[in-house]
Structure 1
Amino acid sequence: MNDLENEEKPKNERSVHVAEPAMTAAAMNGVAAAAALQSVFQRVNQAAEKAGRVSDQIRVVAVSKTKPISMVRQVYDAGHRSFGENYVQEIIEKAPQLPEDIEWHFIGNLQSNKVKPLLTGVPNLKMVESVDDEKIANMLDRVVGNIGRKPLKVLVQVNTSGEESKFGVEPSGCVGLAKHVKEACSNLVFSGLMTIGMADYTSTPENFKMLAKCRSEVCKELGIPEEQCELSMGMSGDFELAIELGSTNVRIGSTIFGAREYPKKK
């Protein structure tokens, strides 16, 4: 230590603290979301280990529905790249304002008249997880071809719970729809199956087991290895169980971003 470091400061000399600007609520929420993401990865790792699986085989899609771009950016800055949205209008507004290397998943119900806005508005759309009939498959196939983008990965959504409120093809129809996508839609890449478990989770194991059964039937019919057919199942309330039952793609929203913020009805 040198003499300058040993000198005592004058007693009347005070250190000056420069106040930093307070973080905005959105920035604070973004920091919390980034921290929550790391907790989710820890839980994914634990669930995979419990099932004797490798966590690298499981994709976490951060679902930012109703959340501001600033929060998405914080999670992106933490190193994450897979994000999902439920509404076409929301994803086509967010995507152009965020980095191009984000891999967007569209996970909501898709109407025919929204296909072109979705595909033209989100060039970095990686996957549509919610193909539930031949009509929407054909529309996606046609628009992908017309705009000249590379083939689009899609999942067939299966209604494994039998609830009328849920979209998706019946389990008995999943083989036919998967076959149609693979054989009749040259601009689409059939990549697997998706489902949404029951909201109260009481029948979720059965829902997930049903999707795994559907995968076996689809892969047998199409002659493809099961490891090449994704299972997108599991959300904030049940993703660990989904991983134990074979999920390769979990869609996590509120556990990362907090409760969704819908506009108050007037």
Structure 2
Amino acid sequence: MGSEVAIALADVRARLAAAAARAGRPADRQPRLVAVSKTKPAEAVKEAYEAGQRDFGENYVQELVDKAPQLPADCAWHFIGHLQSNKVKTLLEAVPNLAMLETVDSEKLASKLDSTVAALGRPPLPVFVQVNTSGEESKYGVEPADCVPLAAHIHRSCQHLRVAGLMTIGMPDYSSRPENFTCLSGCRTAVCEALGLKEEDVELSMGMSGDFESAVEMGSTNVRVGSTIFGARSYPAKA
């Protein structure tokens, strides 16, 4: 019998495949599963790796900087938390296999990423523009009306970055409303029309443990699943 992580991972993969089938997704356009190991030890990530998982996500710079060296180099790390400009160099220097940064929410951050990628001699970094589709003040991300100007800045002024897609975060209970997903899809259409990009080349990162199946049915190409794979998160008790 496999580990609990491996068993849970297999179940999520099966649910993901079923959702993709319901959406009529072709075999070569299957959504990407990013296993989010926030607060979980590197050993748990290794269990998922041994079960065939390669895309992993982290919310905090220090946690990713600590974990990445403990895992094989062919892990594709996604940074999915809010990133402060003063942490950009630390993240990019310490994680050479950072495959995606999903949370670009300002021109300042994009420009800092661009100059740091260039200074380190890294290949162009794929990034997602984070959009606040729910209108919650507690959420990071640009307003939907501002996604085109930010995407245009990255596309035209940041030659060491690549606009790979758009990302949104669900509601407080980690489930999103259909209109949030529809909004992000509309943002993609606007970005592609403005920049002359094909929609199939611009991803939608939406859907987490509570809503990834409905997100896939509504067009998500990248889902971020944590607790359903690794179990409930463990936070230190407050003094």
TM-score after normalising by structure 2: 0.97
- Indicate yes or no: 2:122 matched with 1:155: no
Equivalent residue number for residue 176 of structure 1: 149
Q: How does 1:19-168 map to 2 (within 5 A)?
A: 31-54=3-26, 56-168=29-141
Gaps of 5+ in 1: 1-27
Q: Which amino acid aligns with 1:254?
A: S
Runs (4+) off by over 3 Å: 200-203
Partner AA of 1:97 in structure 2: Q
Maintained 8 Å contact 2:124/2:162: yes
Identity %, equivalent residues: 63
- Residue type matched to 1:38 in 2? A
Q: 1:74, 1:99 → 2: CA distance?
A: 12
Structure of larger gyration radius: 1
Aligned pair 1:265/2:231, yes or no?
Answer: no
User: Please, which runs of 5 or more residues in structure 2 have no aligned partner?
Assistant: none
SS at match of 2:56: strand
SS at match of 2:224: strand
- TM-aligned CA distance change 1:85 to 1:202, over 3 Å: closer
Range 192-201 or range 248-257, more displaced: 192-201
Let me know the Cα RMSD of the aligned residues.
Answer: 1.4
Q: Does 2:208 match 1:217?
A: no
Structure 1 SS opposite 2:102: strand
**Displacement, 1:73?**
0.3
TM-score w.r.t. length of structure 1: 0.87
1:178, 1:218 within 8 Å by CA — same for their partners in 2? yes
Give the letter aligned to residue 146 of structure 1. Answer: A
Distance in 2 separating the partners of 1:54 and 1:88: 35
* 1:97 Cα deviation from its structure 2 partner: 1.1
Cα displacement (A) at 1:182 = 0.6
Query: Residue 198 of structure 1: SS of its match in structure 2?
Result: coil
Q: Deviations over 1:177-232 (max 9, x none)?
A: 00100100000011010001223477610000000000000000011110000000
CA–CA separation in structure 2 for the residues paired with 1:202 and 1:104: 23
Other structure's SS at 2:150 match: helix
**Which amino acid is 2:135 matched to?**
G
